[in-house]
Structure 1
């Protein structure tokens, strides 16, 4: 038990006698998590939920990714959120209704509808009004719905509602703005092209029966909305007006508003403002007559695709009857929970032992393309190793064996109840959702669920009906599956090209041997079976009495040569959740680019070793992250306090008993090469990395790590590094939430006693020094490493001095500058930009 570990700290009693403030300059006091280096941070207070530093690399399984956020410039604290009001409106018509001769028209109308109204004719007036009063707005077009939403400070909500409603009552849709908005749509299309998910979705849609709407090009671009209409003498302005009149009708529309006003007040506002939305009296579009869209010879094939990313990925896809009506049972969630399991008996556990795969996901993304009134997609995506790529048919066979096992065993009520309990726990103790996101979710729920389930229908399981689950399972057989192999090894072997995203691919019949095997009653692999009962499922949500005074900020409650512990009890939210961070600081990390790469490999293997035993905790909503930081290893654990100690103990035990096989070492190296490469070809990640290389001392650029890894690193080097790293450390811990001070101190005791390391010979304070830039204009220009990406990335950085002195001034500047910048980019140069203003720590 973590909390009963024998105290082995020297000088512990004296360290516990007084509460220390966070002004101390002890070794390791300023951990990487405390650094003001998150793009969207607003104060000096330590927060468990903050993103890692820009330069941290989070390692989950084998995926090492730069944390890349899209800051809004608005404060994310709860007081700010509580002041916001929000509204969302869902028109239950989308891209499935695009005319055959105008692909992308529904998406284009989403843009055009916001260009002023009869009552408020200023083209950009609504956007200016929102920005002036702390708000934002957005919209999205899906297959069968178009959603609009905004938020604003509460006192301006009614005025904003009136302006916003006019877009659905009397929009101007200015003819002179058509060219500008076509360019905006075209640039969104250009931004979407380098995404492998978008490319595969478009290719998959092309395999449907002729005349079915999923074959359409939903994005739209300059060719479909400008050049082709002009050649065909199509007046796109008239067609836009017709589309709006035919489909933007009150009976097709759902509205959600959220504000601090009373329900009666909100109801009166809605009645007063929105009752003028026209009702055209036309029936809502229906696709009920369209069935089995992918029951075609083209679907049951093997497709080889050249991806943008450096990956080997096997997608196995089934097209099923629409499952929206089964939301109370959620058969796809039950099946995906089993397919995506990583514990003993799972698909991924078996494939990892064979060194054929590193990751697997399965299920339905619940997007409009994957789940609608015509069909539902069930897809299993497996990230393969190089060895797995050579055995992809065998990998597919393992998947089919598992599906056959599920069919034979049948639905299991224990497992369904476990999933239900996990979802209930998550729903009951969920964190507060920003109003703008909440109203958007509920607005879409109103399109999908019965009235009594609007608030819960997408999260909870209600009815156990094994026959419904069994019916879906029976459809997941090899004969109905589509296989797609995405790999850079397919370069030069794919003569076909998809029209819109120019995806290179080839198509072939399933290899005869495997087609024959799968056509008959093949054997089930005995290593594949249902998961065991989950020991990490929380059942005790009681709140423990405090044993420490209330404080506003974390305070140091334990100090010793090996480490220190900071603690703060949750005094506001009163939820049975705990957040624990440990920073294992070592001077070994910053010695060379090789040592930084070795830390990445070390963390990747450690994550891989934990993936099976810790998966039960993961699905029980106990989360852990291992971060290869610039000064050492960061361990983050959060979740329900009942079983969190078990997970923390598991992580530390695996760190203490770290080992690996030669095969795993080689596999991780190959995957890390792909990870570095995929980071380098993303312009936004490369630009961010270069900014930190210029500004920070001791920052190793991704390109140098990639080059060092390509030169070769031995297993002996890793063993030597891990031995040196774990032999001398300073461990700094932080615990926040519903736990006692004694429990927090027990966490640190367990780490120190279990790892058995010596204190650092010399203090190793974590210092983040930033270059003091000269008072002149500096320009760094770099060519993108992805020649197929037409997009560019621009970062403008102003260095202003100590962060906490200027925070409020820059919040004001954000609201003052963000709209003029976005407006001039979007409307003057006719280009679409993703623009963000953010406060960063370096």
Structure 2
């Protein structure tokens, strides 16, 4: 995939450790087979040019070692003896900017092709199949100046997976048949993005840059650029791929991360043995010191027509690449201030004017040699009319920063927050961590590889002042996005067909912005009082369990608590779910609650923003069940934060002016659902059809006409009069503190009692046995179609654990061949997925394909796969292969959460669904271990195969209005769902046993 680069992250601090190569060699020499070990150590050490130390976090228990091999390859080894997943990533410092001018998208095409066979492992699906059969996953992305490949797998299969992976960079095949087919996948990926505004806006950055600069290239590629045009010009694209790989895939511009359970010594041997043979072509990583926005591209205003009904404003300033200054990070200092949301901030002022709803500012990701400082805003209709005044306010704030000058206390505050975040950094999933490390290895010195993305060390006010010289009216570019510009533009972008126009900003405006005076409403942020200082671990409770304890069980109040003994960080999470069935009585009630919650968050953002910066935040969310209040972060001040949220919620009155602005934004969001991807529509419509009560976007949109300030205020008060409350407190707290938090919520909100029996979860309608259902809808925006085939099975309950395990194992078996057959071989589309569906306490199997081909044809191909290829796989599968699938699935089920937030989410899912099966994954894993191949085949025959006695199948077809097809052909349905209300009236629910938790 092509990567859209985000703004850089917050920074922080770490601690030093030392590693010496003589100790590594010594560990080999102490091996019982000392002569062989000595020879191995000698051979390995001969391939290592140098070793390096890295600084790590205080909370990090893993071991690290940096290596530079003789071929110039840089490797960071991560040894984690506790991990249940291993991972690897490799990044090469060449990306889409290095595409040949006459073959746009070649770097991205090369990324796709490397997965499809090497000299040592020629089968095109070998890599994907191996990882799928061993609990693994894979991905890759192509950025402007680098390409990254990464995977994870069960630890015992790490070496073999890494060997397969390493061959991509040694001897890829690029076979002609794969080349011909995979370019269709690249084209499908491009087609998927054509109507997505994020991609369209990003492409316009390049399209309006210096045409001679590599930034102007079209990086994704398409069938036109990778096949049609090269064919006309006599270019052999396969040979171009070979040449591109041969020229640029050089070890001296590559970085690798190996994350495994092995010791550092064993990982060192792996790195040398597997990657030491990658050729060093002694090339220099490409860089672009000339900026793509030269004098001719500055002082421009670009008006853009979006697909969705959205309004945005982007103010962009070209700036040099500041990555080498990461230890002082002047851009981070400025982004902290420009993007601040507290009192006296630029956002606060613009919101009070009614012009802007959100704002972010900071250094955007360019490439080696150039960058951008971008201020992005979501603006109101009035804001669109006052675009010039918004820019004036921006320059007034920048003038404030110039006159005040760099403030060391602000730098030190940012530094302190960053230090805390890094010091108590949560563990990440190995695959995510490995890929992130390879990016850091390209940006930072060895010792700062882990800390460089967090830490600011050196206060250099002169660099802050220098950076400010780029943020001037002479260097401005303004982007305005609105459907108001429809019919008022004169240009169309070549690849995404975006309508736009470019206007010169008049000299008089530029001069006026140069002469702005200070604005009395703008000032620097106050000292942040929310920064935690007491970061000790709570005194341990006398008893510890691996599941939450029910501390309070009353008719309308339940409190669950679990003290963390696993992650051992001074952080915690508490969530309180307030339920009242009135919230989903009608489409209007849904809208009233949504608006009330949105307005509350908007009104209180300025007050709570400093806490968010300091690592302590709250969320107030609405759902079909009610309202949830969630506080998370450092434990020290969570009680105070929670109480303040509740105090502000009591008697909250909505600002009528902000209400109208936010109501208009919600109406647009509801309308914009039409522009979501076809596969998202398929999921939406399946949920709408099957769920007991489901108010559609159209129904909510119609109800918004009756949504008023007065009704919202009244509804919020009525909602809080009677609610049931279910809570979970987890982390660095004691049970006494959990009681205090729960009591505070009920006391401050003055909650009236509503029994749990009056607030049940929604159910799902049961399809009839032996019947095939069909639901058809259209997508008016995207050129692609989508098909979802769903096989409904039963209820997610321990009484049905055997069938649940069978369902999961069948999904494990079908996932890889589904992708291989429907995507890689038949090239039906870029988005192809098959796996379990769990919704409203029920489960089953679904296959989703988004394609440029007719939905009828796609549904036929899915049916052929399910009843042909899948059946053949199941009947011919060896016992050994079946055992691998079981083992891989069990490993996935038993994979431990890597951070406190993940574990909380697992536990909260059980509580919110009122299932309370906290050991669900273990139960399923135990049951999977008992399954036989014959049982899986029988399950498939009854629930999935055509004509099965328990087959309950629904096919959802989303057809593009631009590509109508013949609906009379294809899979014959027994029941076409034309009237959803009638369908629900004639189909009973899948009943689930109620679980009553006990103290």
2:145 and 2:286 in contact (8 A); partners too: no
Separation (CA, whole Å) in 2 of partners of 1:113 and 1:556:
52
| Deviations, residues 482-520 of structure 1 (Å, cap 9, x unaligned) | 00100111111112111111111011122565333113x
| Deviations, residues 370-394 of structure 1 (Å, cap 9, x unaligned) | 2322211111111011111111111
2:373 maps to: 378
Pairwise mapping of residues 47-446 of structure 1 onto structure 2 (< 5 A)? 82-281=83-282, 283-287=283-287, 290-365=289-364, 370-446=365-441
Deviation, 1:294, is 0.9
1:584 maps to: 578
Q: What TM-score comes out, normalization by structure 1 length?
A: 0.87
1:625 maps to: 619
The 1:143–1:131 alpha-carbon spacing in structure 2 relative to 1, beyond 3 Å, is same
2:486 maps to: 491
2:953 maps to: none
Separation (CA, whole Å) in 1 of partners of 2:684 and 2:286:
49
1:599 maps to: 593
Separation (CA, whole Å) in 1 of partners of 2:208 and 2:278:
38
- Alignment partner of 1:726 out of 720, 728, 731: 720
- Alignment partner of 1:820 out of 817, 821, 827: 817
1:625 and 1:637 in contact (8 A); partners too: yes
Separation (CA, whole Å) in 1 of partners of 2:593 and 2:680:
20
| Deviations, residues 167-186 of structure 1 (Å, cap 9, x unaligned) | 21111110122221111111
Verify: 1:575 aligned to 2:569, yes or no.
yes
1:609 and 1:654 in contact (8 A); partners too: no
Separation (CA, whole Å) in 2 of partners of 1:305 and 1:802:
48
2:740 maps to: 746
Deviation, 1:807, is 4.3
Separation (CA, whole Å) in 1 of partners of 2:405 and 2:212:
37
Separation (CA, whole Å) in 2 of partners of 1:450 and 1:461:
14
Deviation, 1:414, is 1.4
The 1:825–1:601 alpha-carbon spacing in structure 2 relative to 1, beyond 3 Å, is same
- 4+ runs of 1 displaced by more than 6 Å? none
2:838 maps to: 840
Verify: 1:671 aligned to 2:665, yes or no.
yes
2:786 maps to: 793
Q: Secondary structure at the match of 2:815?
A: helix
The 1:729–1:298 alpha-carbon spacing in structure 2 relative to 1, beyond 3 Å, is same
1:229 and 1:236 in contact (8 A); partners too: yes
2:505 maps to: 510
1:64 maps to: none
Verify: 1:688 aligned to 2:683, yes or no.
yes
Deviation, 1:730, is 2.2
The 1:758–1:808 alpha-carbon spacing in structure 2 relative to 1, beyond 3 Å, is same
Deviation, 1:305, is 0.2
Separation (CA, whole Å) in 1 of partners of 2:264 and 2:811:
33
- Alignment partner of 1:643 out of 637, 643, 648: 637
The 1:318–1:552 alpha-carbon spacing in structure 2 relative to 1, beyond 3 Å, is same
Q: Secondary structure at the match of 1:156?
A: helix
Verify: 1:661 aligned to 2:662, yes or no.
no
Separation (CA, whole Å) in 2 of partners of 1:118 and 1:562:
65
1:411 and 1:469 in contact (8 A); partners too: yes
Separation (CA, whole Å) in 1 of partners of 2:760 and 2:426:
32
More displaced 10-residue stretch of structure 1: 422-431 or 775-784: 422-431
Q: Secondary structure at the match of 2:775?
A: coil
The 1:411–1:88 alpha-carbon spacing in structure 2 relative to 1, beyond 3 Å, is same
The 1:171–1:359 alpha-carbon spacing in structure 2 relative to 1, beyond 3 Å, is same
Separation (CA, whole Å) in 2 of partners of 1:194 and 1:180:
24
More displaced 10-residue stretch of structure 1: 163-172 or 723-732: 723-732
1:537 and 1:643 in contact (8 A); partners too: no
- Alignment partner of 1:476 out of 463, 471, 479: 471
Q: What TM-score comes out, normalization by structure 2 length?
A: 0.73
More displaced 10-residue stretch of structure 1: 791-800 or 270-279: 791-800
Separation (CA, whole Å) in 2 of partners of 1:621 and 1:795:
41
Q: Secondary structure at the match of 1:760?
A: coil
Greater CA radius of gyration, 1 or 2? 2
The 1:329–1:808 alpha-carbon spacing in structure 2 relative to 1, beyond 3 Å, is farther
Deviation, 1:809, is 3.1
Deviation, 1:103, is 0.8
| Deviations, residues 386-426 of structure 1 (Å, cap 9, x unaligned) | 11111111112111111111122122111112222222222
Separation (CA, whole Å) in 2 of partners of 1:286 and 1:585:
57
Deviation, 1:562, is 5.7
Deviation, 1:129, is 1.3
Deviation, 1:229, is 0.5
Verify: 1:460 aligned to 2:455, yes or no.
yes
Separation (CA, whole Å) in 2 of partners of 1:676 and 1:215:
34
| Deviations, residues 426-463 of structure 1 (Å, cap 9, x unaligned) | 22222221111111111122211111111221222121
| Deviations, residues 34-66 of structure 1 (Å, cap 9, x unaligned) | xxxxxxxxxxxxxxxxxxxxxxxxxxxxxxxxx
| Deviations, residues 652-674 of structure 1 (Å, cap 9, x unaligned) | 11111301222122112101101
Q: Secondary structure at the match of 1:782?
A: strand
Q: Secondary structure at the match of 1:279?
A: coil
Separation (CA, whole Å) in 1 of partners of 2:558 and 2:162:
52
Deviation, 1:548, is 5.7
The 1:746–1:680 alpha-carbon spacing in structure 2 relative to 1, beyond 3 Å, is farther
More displaced 10-residue stretch of structure 1: 622-631 or 211-220: 622-631
1:49 maps to: none
Separation (CA, whole Å) in 1 of partners of 2:757 and 2:270:
63
The 1:838–1:379 alpha-carbon spacing in structure 2 relative to 1, beyond 3 Å, is farther
Pairwise mapping of residues 754-773 of structure 1 onto structure 2 (< 5 A)? 754-760=748-754, 763-773=757-767
Separation (CA, whole Å) in 2 of partners of 1:81 and 1:822:
32
1:48 maps to: none
Deviation, 1:160, is 1.4
2:795 maps to: 802
2:111 and 2:142 in contact (8 A); partners too: yes
Separation (CA, whole Å) in 2 of partners of 1:300 and 1:233:
41
2:957 maps to: none
Larger relative strand fraction: 2
Separation (CA, whole Å) in 1 of partners of 2:532 and 2:755:
42
Deviation, 1:470, is 1.5
1:689 and 1:702 in contact (8 A); partners too: no
| Deviations, residues 754-785 of structure 1 (Å, cap 9, x unaligned) | 1223323895233332212222111111101x
The 1:663–1:81 alpha-carbon spacing in structure 2 relative to 1, beyond 3 Å, is farther
Separation (CA, whole Å) in 1 of partners of 2:126 and 2:681:
36
